[in-house]
Structure 1
Amino acid sequence: MTNEPNRREELTKMTLCASCAGIQRNWRRAPGHAELVQLSSRRAERSDGDSGSHTVTLTSYRCDACGTRWEYENDKTNQQAGWSVVGQQVD
């Protein structure tokens, strides 16, 4: 069972600042913006289908302006990797 509808609803309620709203999501090499603060990096395995797997780097960021949490996936084999919203900081 998946929580995808709940996740979509949660992300819809978030308010992004103009700079965050301008980030092109799911596109490798798209730029972020100046108010993103890097938090941490980690490595993850991605499947290559029949040919095995490879390692990618996932870096977490937080926007100082609106608190949106982002993750950037650096996967040279996947053009649709890149920026994705993972939540928003609650004060």
Structure 2
Amino acid sequence: MTTHPNPPHDATPPTLCEPCAGIQRNWRRAPGHAELVQGINHKIERSHGLVTVTRYVCDHCGTVWNYENDKTNQHAGWSIMGQ
């Protein structure tokens, strides 16, 4: 049996509930859904200044989301943590 020095990791995406599956990713001002619970936020330095990133967790399926509020980037917005 051969072992890999870097075994492949499980790249299976999280199982999203229907409301999470409906969130439009990477689009600023796209709505979330009612079962997202807001967590901590922090600032990230971008070339044009600071932007706020807020973490949310879905109460239904447990998916962890980040919402980047960058007014200069239309493709900021919702992303799943770790993807």
Take 2:9 and 2:43, find their aligned partners in 1: how far apart are those partners? 27
Among candidates 51, 57, 63, match of residue 56 of structure 1: 51
Calculate the TM-score normalised by the size of structure 1: 0.76
Deviation of 1:15 (Å)? 0.2
Take 2:9 and 2:44, find their aligned partners in 1: how far apart are those partners? 25
Take 1:6 and 1:55, find their aligned partners in 2: how far apart are those partners? 33
Among candidates 42, 53, 64, match of residue 69 of structure 1: 64
Aligned equivalent of 2:36: 36
1:22 equivalent to 2:22? Answer: yes
Number of equivalent positions? 75
- Counterpart of 1:78, as a letter, is N
Seen in structure 2, the aligned counterparts of structure 1 residues 74 and 65 have a Cα distance that, compared at 3 Å, is: same
Aligned equivalent of 1:50: none
Aligned equivalent of 1:80: 75
**What is the DSSP-based 3-state SS (H/G/I as helix, E as strand, rest coil) of the residue aligned with 2:65?**
strand
- Structure 1, unaligned runs of 5 or more: 48-52
Q: Percent identity?
A: 65
| Dislocated runs of 4+, deviation >6 Å | none
Higher helix share: 1
Take 2:37 and 2:15, find their aligned partners in 1: how far apart are those partners? 18
Take 1:16 and 1:27, find their aligned partners in 2: how far apart are those partners? 18
Calculate the TM-score normalised by the size of structure 2: 0.83
